[in-house]
Amino acid sequence: MIPRYEYRALLACDIAGSAGRGERRLQEIRGVLRSALADALGAADLDVRDFTCGDTGDGCRLVAPAQLPKAALLFPLLPELSARIRAHNRRAGADSRLRVRAAVHAGEIRFDPDGTVSGAPFEALARLLDSAPLRRATLTGTDGAPLAAILSQHVHEETVGHGHEGLAADAFTAADVRVKEYAARAWLWYPGSPIGPRGDSGTQPERPAPPAPPEPPEPRAVEQLVRATGHGTVFAVHRGDQHIRHDDRG
């Protein structure tokens, strides 16, 4: 038999801050991640048994079955996984809580007759998972993000760029990744993006109050003042920056 090459979607997960917890605690949180991922796959109408799974010590790597669309590894899988990790963290002690990094890529990988898989796409996946932008994203919020994910440019173009369900373009933030010899544009998804809160709790982020209007240089008519101070519409929230567009209703 000779090796074969197939195009597959890839997902890797890694537990942030796993070092220093001790062997017993490490095995416990590894089990939590595997269980949360299997449950999230089920909720996304996917079966973990259809994936080729590899253990990475403090995480795992999944090779999707042939013909599975790349978008299936994003929505609703990422929000479902984030919700399960968040639910675990609410019940767990400080040394058992999880913050998880995830990376999604796709490409031609090699299947050897002995069942092993290899290829350049795995190298890119590992670099994305280890990138500084993704590591920073897991620190979002007081207790860190339950899940922060990064997509390769290739995956972003062929999923978010095609307008698949649940993948709003403004849910992802561009990031430049440089790890060793690897340098590429990638895209982050993290709590606070539009699909993050909806996936975790079914609610939208609370809208901030519009800013106070500047002092007018001279008295204005009531109709003019209403126009200037009418309610704004929040159209994106990324890393705490609020961008507001005011509606001109005439």
The model's pLDDT over 181-223, given as tens digits with 9 standing for 90+, comes to 889 999 999 866 554 433 343 333 333 334 444 544 544 433 3
Q: Same structural domain for residues 123 and 216?
A: no
Among 201, 217, 237, residue at a domain's last position: 201
Same domain, 17 and 69: yes
Same domain, 244 and 136: no
- Residues 197, 210, single domain; the answer is no
Rounded to whole angstroms, the Cα distance separating 44 from 214 reads 49
Regarding whether 243 and 175 lie in a shared domain, the answer is no
Q: What is the pTM of this model?
A: 0.75
20 and 86 in a common domain = yes
Assigned token pair, 27: 């095995």
Residue 44 and residue 95 in one domain: yes
Higher pLDDT, 133 or 171: 133
How many domains does one find in the chain? Answer: 2
Looking at the structure, do residues 188 and 233 belong to the same domain, yes or no? no
**For position 193, which CATH number holds?**
3.30.70.1230
- What's the Cα-to-Cα distance from 91 to each of 87, 95, 96, 98, rounded to whole Å? 7, 12, 9, 11
* 22 and 131 share one domain: yes
Q: Where are the beta strands (DSSP E) in 81-191?
A: 100-111, 117-118, 147-152, 173-179, 182-189
Q: Residue with structure tokens 């403090």?
A: 58
Q: What is the mean pLDDT of the chain?
A: 79
Residues 78-107: b if buried by 16+ CB within 10 A, e if exposed: bbbbbbbbbebbeeeeeeebbbbbbbbbbb
* 4: enclosing H helix or E strand: strand 4-15
Q: pLDDT tens digits, residue range 65-101? A: 999 999 999 999 999 999 999 999 999 988 889 999 9
Is the same domain home to 30 and 84? Answer: yes
Query: Does residue 221 share a domain with residue 190?
Result: no
Q: Using an 8 Å Cβ cutoff, are 52 and 84 in contact?
A: no
Q: State the residue range of the domain holding 242.
A: 206-250
Are 50 and 94 found together in one domain? yes
